[in-house]
């Protein structure tokens, strides 16, 4: 699942955001005889972005917009 791109409408930031998200995943846990864990075949079953904050100006909520690749290419 590709990550969303964001733009801060307050300061114009396109590069730095704090993102709080929750995910539900399914994965195969493979433990070696020595107890070391390797996670294999991980699949994201559900993903939800809870909050996005602009690192530069601290804006949140409706001041953060999701943008498409076409919109970021125009910048």
- Nearest alpha-carbon partner for 50 in 24, 22, 15: 22
Instruction: Report the C-alpha gap between 65 and 53 in whole angstroms.
Output: 11
Check pLDDT > 90 for residue 3: no
Give, in order, the Cα–Cα distances in Å from 48 to each of 19, 23, 39, 45, 51: 10, 6, 22, 10, 9
Instruction: Report the C-alpha gap between 59 and 51 in whole angstroms.
Output: 11
Check pLDDT > 60 for residue 17: yes
pLDDT computed for residue 2 by the predictor: 65
Residues in the chain: 75
CA angle 43, 69, 58 (to 5 degrees): 85
**The model scores a pTM over 0.75:** no
Name the one residue in this structure whose structure tokens are 């396109």. 14
Mean residue pLDDT across the chain? 92
């Amino acid at each position: 699942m590709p990550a969303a791109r964001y733009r801060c409408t307050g300061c114009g930031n396109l590069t730095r955001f704090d993102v709080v998200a929750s995910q539900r995943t399914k994965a195969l846990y493979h433990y070696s005889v020595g107890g070391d864990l390797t996670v294999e075949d991980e699949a994201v079953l559900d993903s939800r972005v809870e909050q996005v904050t602009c690192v530069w100006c601290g804006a949140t909520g409706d001041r953060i917009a999701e943008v498409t690749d076409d919109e970021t290419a125009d910048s």
